[in-house]
Structure 1
Amino acid sequence: MSKKRKIIPYNPKLKELARQLRNNSTKAEIILWLKLKGKQMHGYDFHRQKPIDDYILDFFCHELMLGIEIDGYSHELIEIYQKDQKKEKRMNELGITILRFTDNQVLKDMFNVLLSIEDYIRRFEKHTPSPSQEGN
């Protein structure tokens, strides 16, 4: 019995902007992407600059329902912070958990950034039966 994958809506108008963002990634995004791409993170498939609803997530794994956001210095501004809060609230309504890291954390403390992501995965796997365990 295969588990149905939840369909998550997105605004098609964001596809081109997402492409532009992928082509103009920050240094922190590039460095984290090198650790996430190609199912390197415990076999999970991450996408970058993924349109979801009316937003774009820096990184997203559908199977984990996990979004990862890298916040640059502009995110310290109150207007950007408020937009981030609204975005995170909407993602939570869609069943998506958001992990946030600063550029500085990614650039200077990648070990703990990866540890946080792995911790989320361990907790997710502990509470979510794999398809091979369902019905046993």
Structure 2
Amino acid sequence: MTEILTQINGVPIHKNFVKDLPYNPNLKILLKDKRKAGILSEVIFWKQVRAKTFHDIDFDRQRIIGNYIVDFYVKTLGLVIEIDGPSHDMKQEYDDIRQNYLESLGLVIFRITDFDVRNNLSVVMKELEDFIVWKYGTTPSSKI
């Protein structure tokens, strides 16, 4: 059994650390620019999860993984959170290739829309809770 990271609504959440993720140092310059851009939905989401305020889970903002920069990353869960805004509207093929690559590394992707973060934040946070419980949680009745 893996180590317990936290509990959400009484359900133990198990760590799923993914080791040895590829890193492209050439993206560091882009990373700084992305952070400075201050995309509203990312800033709003960050205020909900920074400094372990969301169930004592540590989130990284703008993390380089391979040749990509993901919006948010939870290292202890191997969880990528992507906020899809208007820039994703015409890039479905690129997003699919990117997601397949990240999943091939053993990462789990949780996608939310820019609109929902700006207009339905409480729903987004509840959906994230439910997703984490579904992917990483065990209830007492599921233990064998």
Q: Structure 2 length as normaliser, TM-score? A: 0.80
Match of 1:92 in 2: 103
**Percent sequence identity over aligned pairs:** 36
Match of 1:23 in 2: 36
Higher relative contact order (CA 8 A, sep 6+): 2
Contact 2:18 2:106 in 1 (8 A): no
Q: What CA deviation, in whole Å up to 9, does each residue of 1:26-65 have, x standing for no partner?
A: 1100000000110111111101110001101000001011
Unaligned runs of 5+ in 1: 128-136
1:9 counterpart SS class = coil
Once the 2 structures are TM-superposed, how far is the Cα of residue 5 of structure 1 from its aligned partner?
A: 6.0
Amino acid at match of 1:51: I
Structure holding more strand per residue: 2
Q: In 2, distance between residues paired with 1:113 and 1:5? A: 25
2:101 counterpart SS class = helix
Q: Give 4+ residue runs of structure 1 displaced > 4 Å after superposition.
A: 2-5
Q: 1:28-43, aligned counterparts within 5 Å? A: 28-43=41-56
Match of 1:116 in 2: 127
Between the two proteins, the alignment pairs up a number of residues equal to 124
**Which of 51, 56, 70 is equivalent to 2:69?**
56
Once the 2 structures are TM-superposed, how far is the Cα of residue 121 of structure 1 from its aligned partner?
A: 2.1
Amino acid at match of 1:9: P
Query: What RMSD, in angstroms, separates the aligned Cα atoms of the two structures?
Result: 1.8
Match of 1:73 in 2: 86
Match of 1:12 in 2: 25
Match of 2:142 in 1: none
